[in-house]
Amino acid sequence: MQLRVRIQGKDAFINRLGRWNDPSDVARASALSAKIWADYCGGTFDTTLRSYQPSNEHADADLLEALKHLSEANRQGRTIHAYRTLRKYGKTLRNKSDVDEFVQWMLANGLQNRTVDGILCEFRRVCPENSKHLFKHKLKVNKGSSLSDVLSTEEITLVLEDLRVNEVWFYPLFFLWLSSGMRNAEIRGLTWDCIHWDSGEIIIHKTLRVDGLNTHRYFWSTTKTGKERVVPIGYSVIKVLQEHKSLMVSKGIYDYNGLVFVTPITHKNVYDSLLGKVWKRSLVRCGIKPRRLYAQRHSFLSHALAMGNSPADLAQMAGHSTQMLLKTYAKPTGRIRLPEWQRELGSIHDLVD
């Protein structure tokens, strides 16, 4: 048995109300119909019909369907994880009490506050009508230190030297990454034809994205913003890339239209878990505290800002708005230029001596 509700000229249904030949089920359906009418007259009608679902002992079909549709459209890991988590939970989230119970279930299953926050954010994303308040929470999410993703100039020098000696095949990749701030998918999808040697530029117009539904599969896509952009590279980067090209030529795997960075054995595209292992090994050897792989981009942009580059120019190069660049990447680097009148007083070592 189902209840049909007309909302803004469209039919919506509340299912699983019981059997037509069961008087008690019919009575509950009539009471639910009366409540819906009373809420409509009182101005508290829930247009999502979520609060009128008969039981939370069934999977939330509407929310699951919306998440599944979004995950198939964007192929993003966080959306897919939200969909799979709710499917595993197997209950309907009708009201705030149900959501609180779901949050406690996630925490009991070892999910961290930040992960729970991301899942509820995906719920709000696919159910924006009356669910923005339903899926709010009061969990404390630690943002971490502002220095957590930025390596100092000394650390960058140390780790690059270690990679040059101990990770010869991957050294050019990390050298370019720390010298350009490109995104992970842009590094993976970089092809030789996009490098303009004479002008010292790399044209970024495509990415090699991981398929969130199948993490061993990759597909070509546009940039995150859908726009082409130019990333300048210096002489040292050009020299390292040319040496890497010569190495690939000697191995017979160079292709003008092929990938710049491939795995050393199968010669297929590189992937984050592999690069993460290389990165972690190098940090351990250098005695540097662990940083996530995305520290390459954060370190480059933070240092480039600290050196006095125009935020607008850097934002264009990074594929961000100026506001987002300053909000996300303007982090302490240890680079501070003192005003001229302080420098004229002499060195601090002169005062000590």
Q: What is the pLDDT of residues 299-317, one digit of tens each?
A: 999 999 988 899 999 999 9
Q: How confident is the model at residue 145 (pLDDT cuts 50, 70, 90)?
A: very low
Number of H helices, E strands in the chain: 16, 7
Nearest residue to 134 (alpha-carbon basis) of 80, 70, 53 = 53
User: Do 180 and 301 touch, CB atoms closer than 8 A?
Assistant: no
Instruction: Of 142-146, 219-223, 253-257, give the lowest mean pLDDT range.
Output: 142-146
Q: How confident is the model at residue 147 (pLDDT cuts 50, 70, 90)?
A: very low
Give the Cα-Cα-Cα angle 166, 168, 171 (nearest 5 degrees). 100
Instruction: State the pLDDT at residue 260.
Output: 98
Per-residue b or e along 80-97, where b marks 16 or more CB atoms closer than 10 Å to that residue's CB: bbbbebbeebebbbbeee
Integer Cα distance of 185 and 205 in angstroms: 11
Integer Cα distance of 172 and 135 in angstroms: 45
Residue spans of beta strands (DSSP E) within the chain: 3-7, 10-14, 195-196, 201-204, 207-211, 214-221, 229-232
Q: How confident is the model at residue 109 (pLDDT cuts 50, 70, 90)?
A: very high
Instruction: State the pLDDT at residue 59.
Output: 66
The position carrying tokens 């020299």 is 239
Nearest residue to 163 (alpha-carbon basis) of 240, 239, 232 = 240
Give the C-alpha distances (Å, rounded to integers) separating 104 from 116, 157, 198, 205, 323.
Answer: 10, 45, 58, 43, 36
Average pLDDT of the residues in 102-116: 91
The position carrying tokens 């120019």 is 313
Nearest residue to 82 (alpha-carbon basis) of 123, 130, 129, 114 = 123
Burial tier of 272 (Cβ tally within 10 Å: 0-12, 13-18, 19+) = middle
CA 101 centroid distance within chain? 27
Q: Does residue 146 carry a pLDDT above 50? A: no
The position carrying tokens 């919306």 is 66
Contacts by 332-339 with C-beta closer than 8 Å and gap 24+?
Answer: 332/146, 332/147, 332/150, 332/302, 333/150, 333/152, 333/153, 333/302, 333/303, 333/306, 334/152, 334/153, 335/153, 335/303, 335/306, 335/307, 336/306, 337/308
Instruction: State the pLDDT at residue 97.
Output: 82
Instruction: State the pLDDT at residue 73.
Output: 84
Q: What is the mean pLDDT of the chain?
A: 84
pLDDT in tens, 221-255: 999 888 999 999 999 999 999 999 999 999 999 99
Share of the chain above pLDDT 70, in %: 77
pLDDT in tens, 49-108: 666 666 555 667 778 888 989 988 888 888 999 999 999 998 888 778 888 899 999 999
Q: Can you read off the two tokens belonging to residue 252?
A: 């017979």
Nearest residue to 301 (alpha-carbon basis) of 290, 310, 314 = 314
Q: Can you read off the two tokens belonging to residue 92?
A: 């309907």
Q: Name 218's bridge partners.
A: 210
Q: Identify the helix (H) or strand (E) that includes residue 192.
A: none
Average pLDDT of the residues in 318-330: 86
Q: Does residue 287 carry a pLDDT above 70? A: yes
Nearest residue to 40 (alpha-carbon basis) of 13, 10, 15, 8 = 8
